[in-house]
Amino acid sequence: MYCKAGQMDVAHRLFDTMSKPNLVSYNSLISGYTQLGAFDRAMQVFMEARKACLKLDKFTYAGALNVCAQTGDIKLGKLIHGLIVANGLVENTFLTNSLIDMYCRCGFVDRARFLFENSKELDEVSWNTLIACYVGMDKKTEMLNLLVSMHRNGLRLNSYTMGSVLKACCTSIDIGIMYGEMLHGCIMKLGWDVDIVVATALLDMYAKKGELNRAVNIFETVPNCNIVMYNAMISRFIDAEDISKECANGACSLFSEIQRRGLKPSKFTFSSMLKACIAVEDIDYGKQIHAQICKHNLQSDEFIGAALIELYSLMGSTEDGLKCFRSTAKLDIVLWTSMIAGHVQNGQVESALNLFHELLASGIRPDEFIISNMLSACADLVTARLGEQFHGHLMKSGLGNFRTVQNSQICMYSKCGDIDSAALTFRETVNPDLVSWSVMINGYAQHGYARDALDLFELMKEHGIAPNHITFTAVLFACSHAGLVEEGLRCFESMKAYGVETNVEHYCCVVDLFGRAGRLAEAEKYIITSGFKDNPVMWRALVSACRVYKDAVTGKRVARKLIELEPQEPSSYVLLYNICADDAVQPLGASVRQLMQQQGVKKEPGLSSLI
């Protein structure tokens, strides 16, 4: 009783009071210590049983083999195997299965297969154990051959066997396509399509192959689904990198169904639902999920805590996020990272720094993600001195070689005006990735080193790194500020060759490219034909150029278009007023002020701060 309850101290004290403990007592202690992960104590009890000159049975040896399997101690496992042979228990099927499992989990699958093929008696567990081993080691061909042999030998396939095989089909597209539907047909023939274990594996297989509709069909055909299957279906809806509104709604519908049926949601259910709310930024529904979490008293779970922190950080409520953080029982590095990142994203850098110092005081070692967030905070504040201190910390802690840290470091130095240190960090980066190249190109562009940005862009392509939309934005920005119109247009046209979809930011850069070169008519025509003529950002870029080149006629027309698109935006009226003032047309300037009053638009006062 005490062993099953995990109270091993009490169990062992009772054991010590026994005048002559029998083998069952020893076996119970071995099993109890193994379940708690106290493997040394379990083996100590095993040795005491041997010293007591008791005749060890199959359960004693199986307990010792379980310890070897969980610790990966193959040397000790071989010794136990030798004892089994010496005591004449080698033909025992129960111990054969334990030996196969031990060799498999220690990574010696060939020894497990040799034992399997040379054993006189095997049962379904023997076959299932070896099949599961092949699945875990990604040996799909051997696994499928063994499944066929098992069927031909007249052994009854069970749900756990099929579940393991279907899991293998999930990990390989070619095997999945070739065998997945064949196995589905076999399952239908055997009538296991309504079995929870098999149906969950089928659902998982089709969803991972991208056939979400078939996964939904399987889910709907299973009567009385349990919470495990609901969790599997919800996770499939939210597994995509970019969760669509439709998938999030599907997950929400399943959660509502769980509540209607009176099933008890698990920690995984709630963390998945919070992930869906975060992906589609449905804050209100996220708060409702939080209320359900409190109702089920799961708010202290670290996985749920991390998701809640991310949710409240998204809505800008870091105070609520901090409450969730403080109420979590186990503060691991993931929670610290979520909390610090939330403060950085909301511009609360001082609070992020305080949390970082609190983390150091707690004795937990910061990881590369926390350091990356702190470097981003330094970049946003343009505080090079603080950034250098973090640079020194990461060098001492050995985190300087992580790519995510190096990329943040390049960005930090670029935004703080130290382009030379940014370039040095880039050169020291081993195998820079797309982000590394893009950040460095953008740094050169922002500092007016257009030619360096373009040269680095060409070098990036020579290294076989395909640029993305951010890279092209940086290159177009560099061309615009350097007056390299033709090169900028060639760059814009080359986006199609790399399969990069153009967006309003790219078109705005081209408008700015024409505007800075004084080609205002071309810029206006380009806006009209771009497909973004109703986007105020495009017209704002042009009206600024009109003022620079003192083209009052075009400037007034463009500014009026801007006001038409954004009647409540004060900056549009200010731009029109400034053009009228530059053109010395005072009556028009007065009419602009009058128009602002009629529309109820007020110019926001400027603010400045010194750091």
- The structural domain count of the chain equals 2
Tell me if 587 is assigned to some domain: yes
Per-residue pLDDT tens for 75-112? 888 888 888 888 888 788 888 888 888 888 888 888 88
Does residue 572 sit within a domain?
Answer: yes
pLDDT for the residue 611: 46
CB atoms within 10 A of CB 4: 11
Q: In the predicted model, what is the mean pLDDT of the chain? A: 81
**Which pair of structure tokens corresponds to residue 201?**
């594996």
Q: Is the pLDDT score of 2 beyond 70?
A: no
pTM of structure = 0.66
Q: What pLDDT was estimated at residue 70?
A: 87
Q: Which pLDDT does position 421 carry in this prediction?
A: 92
Both tokens assigned to 198: 């098999």
The whole-number pLDDT of residue 110 equals 87
DSSP one-letter code for 224: S
Residue finishing a domain among 96, 122, 148: 122
Domain boundary among 73, 104, 122: 122
pLDDT for 573: 63
Summarize the confidence of residues 555-577 as an average pLDDT.
70
The CA distance from 451 to 448, in Å, is 9
Q: Is residue 37 a part of any domain in this protein?
A: yes
What's the whole-number mean pLDDT along residues 341-346?
89
CATH code of residue 91: 1.25.40
> Residue 42 contacts by C-beta under 8 Å, 6 or more apart in sequence?
29, 30, 33, 34, 63, 64, 67
Record the tokens describing residue 281, joined without a space: 């930024």
Nearest alpha carbon to residue 165 among 195, 190, 133: 133
Q: When comparing pLDDT for 234 and 381, which is higher?
A: 234
Tally of residues, the chain: 611
Looking at residue 610, what is its pLDDT? 46
Average the pLDDT over each of 242-246, 282-286, 407-411 and give the range with the smallest value: 242-246
| Model pLDDT, residue 202 | 79
Query: Is the residue at 43 inside a domain?
Result: yes
Res 6 pLDDT > 80? no
State the average pLDDT over residues 569-595.
61
Which segment of 165-179, 190-204, 432-446, 469-483 scores lowest on mean pLDDT?
Answer: 165-179
Following CA atoms 35, 36, 39, 43 in sequence, which dihedral angle do they give, to the nearest 10 degrees?
-60
Domain carrying residue 549: 503-602
Instruction: Find the Cα–Cα–Cα–Cα dihedral 480, 486, 489, 495, rounded to 10°.
Output: -110
> Does pLDDT of 441 surpass 90?
yes
**Does 108 map to a domain?**
yes
Give residues with Cβ within 8 angstroms of 84, minimum separation 6.
61, 90, 92, 95, 99
pLDDT digits (tens, 9 = 90+) for 444-495: 998 989 899 999 999 999 999 999 999 999 999 899 888 888 888 999 889 8
Beta-carbon contacts of residue 231 (< 8 Å; ≥ 6 apart): 266, 268, 269, 272
- Least Cα distance to 156 among 181, 190, 189 occurs for 190
The pLDDT confidence band at residue 594, using thresholds 50, 70 and 90, is low
Decide which of 100, 122, 144 is a domain's last residue: 122
Q: Which CATH number characterizes residue 596's domain?
A: 1.25.40.10
Task: Quickly list H helices, 485-535.
Answer: 485-494, 504-516, 520-530
212 against 511, higher pLDDT? 511
Confidence of residue 389 (pLDDT cuts 50, 70, 90): confident
Q: Evaluate whether residue 442 is within a structural domain.
A: no
Residue 528 counted as domain residue: yes
What would the DSSP string read from start to end of 392-442?
A: HHHHHHT-TT-HHHHHHHHHHHHHTT-HHHHHHHHHH-SS--HHHHHHHHH
108-163 residue pLDDT tens: 888 888 888 888 888 888 888 888 787 777 777 777 787 778 777 777 767 777 77
Cα–Cα nearest to 400, from 424, 378, 380, 383: 424
pLDDT score recorded for residue 595: 58
**The two three-digit tokens of residue 418, written as one number:** 């130290």
- Tell me the percentage of the chain whose pLDDT exceeds 70: 87
Q: Please spell the DSSP secondary structure of 34-56, one letter per residue.
A: HHTT-HHHHHHHHHHHHHTT---
**pLDDT, tens digit, 9 for 90 and up, residues 51-71:** 887 888 888 888 888 888 888
What are the DSSP calls for 153-201, one per residue?
TTPPP-HHHHHHHHHHHHT-HHHHHHHHHHHHHHHHHHT-TT-HHHHHH
Q: Is residue 59 part of a domain?
A: yes
Tokens of 546: 């009109």
